[in-house]
Amino acid sequence: MAKKNALKLSQKKIADEIGVSPPSVAYYLNGTNPLNARFAAAFARLIEEPVDSFSPRLAAEIAQLAAATEHGNVSPAPQPRREPREYPLISWVAAGEACESSVCYPQGIADTWLSSTENAGEGAYWLTVRGHSMTRDVQPSFPEGTYILVRKDFDLVSGKYYIARNLNGRGGDDDDSVTFKQYIRDAGIEYLVPLNPQYQTIPMDGTWEIIGRVIDAKIPGL
């Protein structure tokens, strides 16, 4: 980072030069989001230093890709790849408001924005898992503090994970109106099921509304 300071590069300038948002630059630099080869190569050009000066692992990865492209006798088939996109980390209260607009979470509504390569669609957002109802000893497990990415446009699929809102303003296991559970449909009956067997299954008796599907998760610090 000494080179960055010497050149007086602000996060906005780095973002403009590389083609990402300022929050994304901050998350890469402070370690919230791991560096990828694309960002590392662009950042190295900007600060006029080799990639291996700050990430030997990515430098080796970039070199291997370059060698394979230059010397391979078989052209690699193009692989589908989504560019990471950032979504705001919002509160459970905001999620419960179930804003209908596709732009209901514009830039500036959240202090933290996290990236994902999942196709989350417009209006998607991150939540922070509360409590222990979705924690268990085998995977998948969602410990308290896990970030979960919620897509607002979804299909109901038994066995997948969803955010549900209680229309009477009362939640399931923690007396909150919005909860994160596995959706199960069995013999025509719908349930919101915690992964932790110490918590009770919630029958969807008409007082619950599914408002989003969880399509990505990340544990802070990994």
Instruction: Give the model confidence (pLDDT) of 104-133 as tens digits.
Output: 554 455 678 899 999 898 889 999 999 999
**Confidence category of residue 2, pLDDT binned at 50, 70, 90:** very low
- Asked whether residue 109 is domain-assigned, the answer is yes
Domain that holds residue 36: 2-71
**One domain for residues 101 and 52:** no
**One domain for residues 92 and 137:** yes
- Asked whether residue 77 is domain-assigned, the answer is no
In the chain the first and final C-alpha atoms are separated, in Å, by 22
pTM of the entire predicted model? 0.61
132 close to 202: Cβ distance less than 8 angstroms:
no
**One domain for residues 21 and 52:** yes
What pLDDT does 201 receive? 94
Domain count, the chain: 2
206 close to 168: Cβ distance less than 8 angstroms:
no
The whole-number average pLDDT for the span 163-180 is: 74
Question: Which of 181, 177, 174 is CA-nearest to residue 201?
Answer: 181
Given 46, 71, 96, the domain boundary residue is 71
**One domain for residues 43 and 90:** no
**One domain for residues 56 and 112:** no
- Asked whether residue 76 is domain-assigned, the answer is no
Instruction: Give the model confidence (pLDDT) of 12-41 as tens digits.
Output: 777 776 666 666 677 677 666 666 777 777
**One domain for residues 64 and 94:** no
**Confidence category of residue 172, pLDDT binned at 50, 70, 90:** very low
Given 71, 95, 110, the domain boundary residue is 71
At a CB cut-off of 8 Å and minimum separation 6, what does 185 contact?
156, 158, 191
**One domain for residues 122 and 150:** yes
- Asked whether residue 161 is domain-assigned, the answer is yes
Rounded to the nearest angstrom, the gap between the alpha carbon of residue 158 and the centroid of all alpha carbons in its chain is 22
pLDDT exceeds 70 at position 102:
no
**One domain for residues 56 and 164:** no
What pLDDT does 32 receive? 65
